[in-house]
Amino acid sequence: MSSPPQRMRAAVLREQKHFELEEIPLPAPGPGQVRIEIEACGVCGSDLHYYNGGMLPLGLTPGHEIAGRVDAVGSGVTSPAVGDAVAVEPLQTCDDCEYCETGRDSICRDLQFIGFHTQGGMAQYIVLPARRAIPLAKDLDSAVAALTEPVAVSVHGLNRGSLEEGQRVLVLGAGTVGLVTLITAGSLGAGEVWVTARHAHQAELARRLGATRVLDERDAGPQELDRLGREVDFDLVVESVGGRADTLAGACMAARPGGTISVLGVFVDSPALAPFHSLLKELTLCWSNCYQRPPGNRSDFEVAAEIVDRERERLSQLTTHQLPLSKINDAFALANEKREGAIKVSVHPSQ
């Protein structure tokens, strides 16, 4: 067997909105850790919010939608094993506070997020605790496997919104998270899933993925959603846009009396609400951060891995562009310009 390389390639942010491909030392797994050879890493909407806002620190390797195969294991690791296909749960936590002990890792006060606070997946390899490497079906396409992270985001958001079988769901936004939520909600038993879409290619894909109805931007403003909400009962409204979008007010307008809003989007400004309407309807507003590991139950990532396996054909339609690591700047530019037809841009470090 040939010895592993001693160095690896990684995309490093050296100027705002510009990455350099660099050779850096290959990390070795310590006790309880695994090293993953990365096969695919998606460009996420939250990556773009921070990228466009100049909030990614210089010297960072971004990327948290990571899938690959275990390449090496540290002492004490029995699972996963070398060669196993895995997705990365990209959280680093203290593992000792009350939130970590009750499986609510994502609200640990010491939370760090791979690809934002620490080096991420736009590289050939990554080292992390073995428990953060979630086993996947071995025959998954790598671009589909990398969607496990956004599916886990959707699983957690729908759980936070107390989704029940047969309910009518409205998803605001038809980017990756919105379309993944369309698939995930249906897989978890939603009766109807409506979607709003800003761009024509997003709307067309939402229809192909089985949306009950797709609303274009003209029908998705607060006033339009207020009128729609008086005609149709939406039990759960999922906000997936974030950024600087004016979507929370519309979500409050659309939700039925006694309904729930689950916020998955990452806002970089203070969004407007509709507090008077929310009061009159006694709405429940839930903020959803990442994923959790409920004690005695499957983690959100484990549920997501099952959904990815089951829904692989529909999920495969989301990846519109696949680029090698050497084209990292092109990947971010493509993902940033939705009018070029991009849904999910996937970077493949092995290419």
pLDDT digits (tens, 9 = 90+) for 143-165: 999 999 999 999 999 999 999 99
Q: What is the CATH number of the domain that holds 23?
A: 3.90.180.10
Tell whether 222 and 262 lie within a shared domain: yes
| Whether 176 and 138 share a structural domain | no
Asked, for residue 123, whether it belongs to a domain, the answer is yes
Residues 179 and 246 both lie in one domain: yes
Query: Would you call the peptide bond into 80 cis, given omega within 30 degrees of 0 as the criterion?
Result: yes
Q: With a cut of 80, say whether residue 80 has pLDDT above it.
A: yes
Domain end position, chosen among 287, 308, 336: 287
Shared domain check, 211 and 259: yes
Which residue do the tokens 């090496």 mark? 72
* 268, 53 contact by CB (below 8 A): yes
The pLDDT, as a whole number, for residue 3 is: 63
Mean pLDDT of 267-276: 87
Reported as a single tens digit per residue, the pLDDT across 33-45 is 999 999 999 999 8
Q: Are both 43 and 143 inside the same structural domain?
A: yes
Q: Which helix (DSSP H) or strand (DSSP E) does residue 12 occupy?
A: strand 7-15
Tokens of 122: 């736009």
Q: Are residues 155 and 135 in the same domain?
A: no
Residue 292 lies in a domain: no
257, pLDDT greater than 70: yes
Residue 33 and residue 45 share a domain? yes
Of 245, 267, 287, which one is at a domain's C-terminal end? Answer: 287
Strand ranges, E, within 264-343: 284-287, 319-324
Question: According to the model, what pLDDT value does residue 227 have?
Answer: 96
Verify that 234 and 118 share a domain, yes or no.
no
Cross-strand pairs, 7? 25
Asked if residue 203 is part of any domain, the answer here is yes
Mean pLDDT (whole number) for 262-289: 92
One domain, residues 120 and 173: no
Count of CB atoms situated within 10 Å of the CB of 115 = 25
- pLDDT-based confidence at residue 296 (cuts at 50, 70, 90): confident
The range of the structural domain enclosing residue 90 comes to 7-147+318-348
Do 131 and 155 have their domain in common?
Answer: no
CATH number for the domain including 202? 3.40.50.720
The CA distances from residue 85 to 70, 251, 286, 319, in Å, are 7, 38, 33, 19
Q: Is residue 301 part of a domain?
A: no
pLDDT of residue 2: 57
Model pLDDT, residue 339: 67
Q: How many domains does the chain have?
A: 2
In a domain, 311, yes or no: no
User: Looking at the domain assignment, is residue 310 inside a domain?
Assistant: no
If asked whether residues 137 and 188 sit together in one domain, one would say no
Q: Are residues 59 and 112 in the same domain?
A: yes
Q: Is residue 36 part of a domain?
A: yes
Residue 173 lies in a domain: yes
